[in-house]
A and B are shown apart, each in its own frame.
Chain A
Amino acid sequence: MERRTLPGRLTWQLGEVVTTQPETARTKSITLIVPNWMGHQAGQHVDVRLTAADGYQAERSYSIASPPEEAPRVTLTVERLDDGEVSPYLTEELRVGDKLELRGPIGGYFVWEAQMGGPLLLVAGGSGIVPLMAMLRHRAAAGGSVATRLLDSSRSYADIIYRDELDRLVKNTTMLEVVHTLTRAQPPGWTGYHRRIDPEMLREVAWSSDQRPLTFICGPTPFVETAAASLVTLGHDPARIKTERFGPTGEARNLPL
């Protein structure tokens, strides 16, 4: 039998862009085929590296939006930051047929597999929904029976990433509830939450602490701090709360609570 060396997680590989799909005005999903992809778990991320003709390089981390079941297709959902160096390229310049250098998957801490069970509590702030969406897509592919609640914070209705797909998942799977809060602007007739998350909202939306949910929180650092602290105040076990914070560069950081 021929012995081949497979590239590891820290080896840079080339993926080819096969589709690009706007999600909101500022976010776009990019699907790549990565021939030597070794598989991943929902919640993990990749490092992406851009190289200019003179050798100048820029590197950023992005959560994987697609579930493991879709490998070797890997989808990233990228939010365009106005003063960003990499996100404007990915959301505005990159096209089908282009190659993109990436390595991964990275991150063994902020992951969920269906066999880990639940109930599952997902708390998303803006583009923090991306790794949680990978978890929801994996959940659906795995039969979708784990009791799950998603609390998703967005600036406005138009800014809800994956909005239609979330509606479909709620309709087509059992035991999934999605609650939105819109923090800056609401459409006429909106009856849902219209403020930033706080302990009161979490008390109403989250599982009770004696149900001992597995909780994943992802978003900007202040959002994550507030959500995590609120849940702990409500009696949730910090050991069952996992957080991922997006820093100013958009880089994901896995930190235990």
Chain B
Amino acid sequence: MSEGFFSRGFRSRRKPSDESGRLPPGQYLERGFPVLSAGPTPHTPLANWDFSIVGEVDQPKRWSWDEFHALPRETVTKDIHCVTKWSKFDTHWEGVSLDTLLAQVESSASYVIAFSDGGYSTNLPLDEVLGGQAWVVDTYEGQPLSPQHGGPARLLVPHLYFWKSAKWVRGLRLVAEDEPGFWESLGYNNHGDPWKEERYQGD
């Protein structure tokens, strides 16, 4: 990549909506909501669904769908950024903050591995999913989250590339040592900050 290079005399066609500085480098604004899938869409009946926190915790914790819905909920409006370069502004979600869920366990772990139906996983530093940075959400734009977009519930970590917001999430495994997840072990960046364009390993 030619650092700092620009083409003499080439005029930008950047649209006004981008000028607020909300679009991370290399991204474009998408009106739709693309569906990217690494496998068949899981369809877990709510009666069978649960969310667990396991691993390096004093006591593993588990919530059924009804128990999950009895927890304090939040409405969240966020911009989201996919590593395939599309971004969406002002997406509306409802769910339970990871602060609420993780408050129920004691741990000295530094990392979480989010795991999902279908075998997907992604890794995150624990301090990046606390302090109002992450949720387990089940409602998108006022409607129950559809299976193709990760329903019944998915992780939402909007400050990182959207592959970290694991669809069909079923729990978190707390670990002392970081473990690269599905994409992180295959060339994608371990952290994934869209504002630093941390797309691939070595970025």
Contact = CB atoms under 8 A, between A and B. Distances in A.
Interface stretch (A45-53, A231-239, A245-253): A45-53
B12 interface: yes
Contacts of B11: 52
Interface stretch (A71-79, A98-106, A165-173, A208-216): A98-106
A237 to B, nearest CB: 38
Interface residues of B, number: 13
B10 A50 contact: yes
B7 A56 contact: no
A52 B18 CA distance: 14
A12 B7 contact: no
Interface in A1-60: 11-14, 50-56, 58
Contact of A12 (B1, B6, B9, B13): B1
A85 B11 CA distance: 9
B33 interface: no
Contacts of A100: 7
Contact of B14 (A50, A56, A98): A56
Contacts of A12: 1-2
B12 A99 contact: no
Interface string B11-36: 11110000000000100000000000
A93 interface: yes
B195 to A, nearest CB: 13
B13 A56 contact: yes
Contact of A56 (B1, B2, B9, B12): B12
A89 interface: yes
Interface in B129-147: none
A101 B2 contact: yes
Contacts of A56: 12-14
B5 A89 contact: no
Given A12-B1, A12-B2, A55-B25, A101 B12 contact: no
Contacts of B7: 50-52, 89, 98-101
B6 A52 contact: yes
Contacts of A85: 13
A93 B12 CA distance: 14
Contacts of B9: 89, 93-94
A34 B156 CA distance: 45
Interface of B: 1-2, 5-14, 25
Given A12-B1, A52-B6, A89-B9, 7 more contacts: A52-B11, A53-B6, A54-B14, A55-B12, A89-B7, A100-B7, A101-B5
